[in-house]
């Protein structure tokens, strides 16, 4: 993975966007990694893999309630403080 300073990333943003389409790019500030820039497709795949892993883990845990989209939404709303 390539590394680039935040200053250089700001000055060469167009080039950075092109690089991120080929591979993720680590952006550093004061020598420490602060962000990763990746293509939209790479991000979509990463999110999909995380969701599948969570579903598999949930099914394997044998929780009290059946795994359904309605239950997932209700739990997410409750955790976000949108419902009681």
Q: Where are the domains of the chain?
A: 2-38, 41-79
Rg for the chain (alpha carbons), in Å? 19
Q: Rounded to whole angstroms, how far apart are CA atoms 12 and 58? A: 43
| Percent of residues, the chain, with pLDDT higher than 70 | 92
Topology given in CATH for the domain delimited by 2-38: YefM-like fold (3.40.1620)
Average pLDDT over residues 35-60: 87
Band of residue 43 on the pLDDT scale cut at 50, 70, 90? very high
| Maximum Cα interatomic distance, the chain, rounded to a whole number of Å | 53
Give which of 42, 37, 5 is closest to 19, Cα–Cα: 37
Instruction: Judge whether residue 15 has pLDDT over 70.
Output: yes
């Amino acid at each position: 993975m390539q590394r680039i300073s935040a200053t250089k990333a700001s000055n060469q943003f167009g080039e950075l966007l092109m690089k991120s389409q080929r591979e993720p790019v680590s952006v550093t500030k004061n020598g420490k990694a602060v962000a990763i820039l990746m293509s939209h497709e790479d991000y979509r795949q990463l999110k999909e893999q995380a969701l599948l892993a969570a579903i598999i883990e949930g099914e394997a845990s044998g929780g009290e309630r059946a795994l359904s989209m309605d239950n997932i939404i209700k739990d997410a709303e409750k955790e976000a403080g949108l419902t009681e």
